[in-house]
Amino acid sequence: MDVAVASVPTRVRGRSMTRHRAQQLGGDRAAQSDLVLVASAGGPPTLWKRGLDKVIAAFTGELGQPRPDGVETSMRAAYAAARRSLVGFRETLLGPGPDVMLVALHLSPGRAAVLVGGAGRVYLHRRKGHERLTAFEDLEGGLVDHPEPWFSSASLHGGDLLVAGSLEAFELPAIGSVAARLSLEPGADVRAIAEILLGPARESGIGAAAAVVRV
């Protein structure tokens, strides 16, 4: 698989701040699996980074524990650990705390498992069209607002394209530009597609994060 992850900062009062993050992490080598995360923070800007750090560290730490129960059970346990970490952090604060949206892709030969907590999207693109692997109507908020995540899975075939991101990565101009690029070049490089998705968010300063996977 070819994977590209990218994010652009959010401008707040003339400063660039980390609100969105996309990461590719090592998965299970024996199972030939990989893990891709996209996360976005809400709440006070000064707490965005700490919220992201809490969620990603707890999610990956729990997912790395040996579990015989299968991918979905493992991902749900990791989500619960991430939510506990975030809620616990918020309880130490005197004022409003951050919330964090999380998209997790567990990629293995011929299969993708998708977990989403909050406002994120994942699409599976094939030559015959595309399929949305997340809720048809966008969810709001993040882990705090969603005790249980959205979970789905899909079979993967050679040439398939997975696109995941924060809602800011799916502005209409970005979607149109990606569709135009794929119609002209179905095998377009994943890094180029990620950059196209993030273009409008970079120009406007709202920031975004995206991950693109080519099977």
Tell me how many degrees the CA angle 59-174-182 measures, rounded to the nearest 5. Answer: 95
Please report, to the nearest 10 degrees, the dihedral formed by the alpha carbons of residues 204, 205, 208, 212 taken in order: 60
Distance from C-alpha of 124 to C-alpha of 102, rounded to nearest angstrom: 18
Rg (CA), the chain: 17
pLDDT score for 106 = 96
Using CA atoms of 163, 167, 170, 172 in order, give the dihedral in degrees to the nearest 10: 160
Give me the domains of the chain, ranges plus CATH numbers. Answer: 2-214 (3.60.40.10)
Say which DSSP state 138 is in.
P
Q: What single-letter DSSP state applies at residue 49?
A: H
Torsion of CA 173, 192, 40, 61, to 10 degrees: 160
Report pLDDT for 155. Answer: 95
pLDDT of residue 30: 46
* CA pair distance 136, 93, nearest whole angstrom: 34
Burial class (CB in 10 A: 0-12, 13-18, 19+), 126: middle
Q: Please state, as a whole number, how many other Cβ atoms lie within 10 Å of the Cβ of residue 87.
A: 15
| pLDDT tens string 152-210 | 999 999 999 999 999 999 999 999 999 999 989 989 999 999 999 999 999 999 999 99
Mean pLDDT, the chain cut into blocks of 10 residues (215 residues total):
96 96 76 84 97 98 82 96 98 95 96 96 88 88 96 95 96 92 92 96 97 96
> Which among 141, 143, 159, 120 is positioned nearest to 55, based on CA atoms?
143
Judged on CB neighbours under 10 Å (0-12, 13-18, 19+), 153 is middle
